[in-house]
Amino acid sequence: MPLYPATDADLAAIAALVNSAYRGETSRQGWTTEADYLGGQRTDEATLRAELAEQPGALLLTLRDEPTSELLGSVWLEPAEAGVWYLGMLTVRPDIQDRQLGRTLMAGAEAYAAGQGAGRIRMTVVNVRDTLIAWYERRGYALTGQTLPFPYEDQRFGEPMRDDLHFVVMEKAL
């Protein structure tokens, strides 16, 4: 399935998709939920628009059902430094997370970044997401040993329900 760059008109649907996959009761339909340790919304249309404007070269790629154009997933990509791109917000609709669409999104995002000159992909994952970290490891990503603090004071990242959250950094050579 091909990936398509998101347009401004897609941002509301992408925000709704991301929130449904990460937070609240709908996220419990899939295995990517953060609802047990983060409340609130994960993002919104205005935040996505602002972040895209602030990050030169950043984009959201979308995965759509071919006959209907229905949004099935999305992924954030941005150049981080020479030869390294950041991948984030990999999202698949919770009710269809058993169709290996996450793999499709990840492979498409990696191919896009490689086509732009990336030799590595970097991501950050909340440390308590053991199942997700293991999933990324099975796809060739490795923990770098680097950690980043969780931004407890920034409501854009949600409402933490635990005081032991941080991000682990993972990378994959392309």
Structure tokens at 79: 């150049």
Kindly report the pTM of this predicted structure: 0.92
Q: Give the other-Cβ count within 10 Å of 99's Cβ.
A: 13
- Per residue in 62-119, pLDDT (tens digit) is 999 987 889 999 999 999 999 999 999 999 998 888 899 999 999 999 999 999 999 9
How far, CA to CA in Å, does 41 sit from each of 37, 123, 148? 12, 20, 21
pLDDT-derived band at 157 (thresholds 50, 70, 90) equals: confident
Share of the chain above pLDDT 70, in %: 100
Domain ranges of the chain: 3-123
Least reliable range by pLDDT among 71-85, 117-131, 155-169: 155-169
The Cα 169–Cα 174 span in angstroms is: 16
3-123 CATH: 3.40.630.30
Average pLDDT score over residue span 31-44: 84
C-alpha–C-alpha distance, residues 32 and 67, integer Å: 26
